[in-house]
Each structure stands twice: as structure tokens, then as C-alpha cells.
Amino acid sequence: MTREILVVNDDSITAEGLVHLVDKLRSYGDVTVVAPKTCNSARSCAITMDAPLHLEHVMEREPEGNMGGIRVYTLDGTPVDCAKMGMNMFVEEGRMPDLLVSGINHGSNASAAVIYSGTLGAVQEAALYGITAIGLSIDTHDPHPDFAVVDEYLDRILTTILDNPPVEGTYLNINFPDIAPEQVRGIVLASQGRGRWQKELVKANDPRGREIYWMVGEFVNLAGGGDDALDDHILLKDGYITITPHKIDTTDYGELDRLSQLWDLDL
């Protein structure tokens, strides 16, 4: 039985990262694409509940030699809408995808970006279903990136993941530096980097003189650094490909235990 792969993204159906990813994944099985019609970056886990969704069949291609088939759809919804739609299609066919891959996102999803990322919102949705799910990003917002670094190392990463997938409820956030393949210093397991944005809203005026605000901001690094630092955004800037495991269950069990000892909440 061939492997079934569901592909989504947040940069839209026309993004070069998506097209490049689909070409790579065809060697691993049949690929179903459900991607947003327009850019949906920073939509996190948003879903559409107050409007109907329109699904459009874009194209289909049969398997060719060692390359899997492709079926491509676009949806006028969020990345999570796309993940839900794709999995719903599989359920109606009496099966589930073996793997969901989201990306390749144009721009890093390291550190606090994981909170806002539409790329990773779709990955979380798949993890809820117990599906092996990974998000891929490259550290540049160039609409025409050089994906040579992805081409060089993605196969090794995917093979490793498929041979030894994460436990159910855990998903993977993979970030590639925007450098030449020979400049990569390694592939490392990393933690979510400590950082945040500040001064995020810049005031301006529209053509009618009304006060408006643009979301921009500057990133503040809160990581301590050092040779043993695991922060993904630091390692990424230092030339490493980072793989960060995240869990659907965000409970802080250590703090749960600590507060249970300190707080008296009995009625």
C-alpha cells in the first residue's frame, strides 16, 4: 500500500515553497494538497465558523514510475481549515493520511513565531488526529528562495522521521537556515527559543487623516546563549537546521504539582 501524504501551507496555493515541497514528496507516496487560496500567514489555529468554505479542484496527476500521484485543491479558508478539509476527504474515503507536511513556509517559525504560525496551526490539527505531522520553514521571506539547502538535507530528515516518528500528540517544527548547503553546521534537536516581539504597533495616518496602526515590531532575544544553548532561533542563525518537538498538551505538569502544594482551593 502506498503512503498517503497530505500537504498544506499558509502562504497560499501559488507559493513557491509549496510547489517545491510537493515535487520532493512525490517520491514518498501519493500527495494530496489542500492549500489556502490567499496568504494566511500568522493565522495560528484559526478556523472559519461564520462563513461557508469553497473547495476548488485545481489538478490531478496519476503516479509516474517511482513518483506518486498528485491531487491539488484550494480552499478559501485558513491553514487549519485546509487541514480539516483534507482529513475530512480522507475520512470520506475510509482512510487517513499517513503524514501531514505543512510548508515550505517563507520565513522562520522559530522561537515565539510558533505561537502565531499558520504553518504550525495546521500541523497541530493533524497531531490532534494522531497523524505524524511536521512543519517546514526556510529563514527568508523572499518569494523566490533558493531551496538548495532543503534539497540537500530534507530526504535525510524525512527518512529519519518516517523510520522513528514522534509519539502521538507530538508534532515537529523544522527550520532551515537561508544559506548554501555546504555552510550548514549540522542538524540538531532544539527547544523553542526564548524571545518575543515588542513595539509591535506603529502609528500612522491613512489618506483621509485617520489614525491607523501597522503590525511590525522588533524581536527581543531572551535566550541566555552559551555553547549548550538549545534555543532554536539562536541555532538557526548560527547555521544549523533545527528540529523542535512540540506537544498538543500544553499543560505545565511541574507547575501543576507545585501550585497544588501551595494553593488551598478547598471549599
| Angstrom distance (rounded) from CA 198 to CA 219 | 7
Is there a domain that residue 199 lies in?
no
pLDDT attached to residue 174 = 98
The C-alpha cell at 215 is 503590525
Within a domain: 203: no
Is the residue at 150 inside a domain?
A: yes
Residues found in the chain: 267
**Could you tell me the pTM of the whole model?**
0.95
Residue 1: per-residue pLDDT: 58
Residue 141, domain member (yes or no): yes
| Percentage of the chain modeled with pLDDT above 70 | 99
Confirm whether 214 is domain-assigned.
no
- Cis-peptide into 243, omega within 30 deg: no
Measured distance CA(157)–CA(150) in Å, rounded: 10
φ and ψ at residue 192, rounded to 5 degrees: -65, 125
Any idea what the CATH number is for the domain that residue 170 is in?
3.40.1210.10
**Joined grid coordinates for residue 88:** 475530512
Residues of the chain with pLDDT under 50: none
148 falls within a domain: yes
* Backbone torsions φ then ψ of 162, nearest 5 degrees: -70, -35
Q: In the chain, how many domains are there?
A: 1
- The range of the structural domain enclosing residue 102 comes to 4-193+225-262
pLDDT for residue 228: 74
Closest to 14 (Cα-Cα) out of 32, 35, 43, 41:
35
Confirm whether 213 is domain-assigned: no
Element (H, E) at 222: none
**Domain-embedded: residue 101:** yes
pLDDT for 2:
86
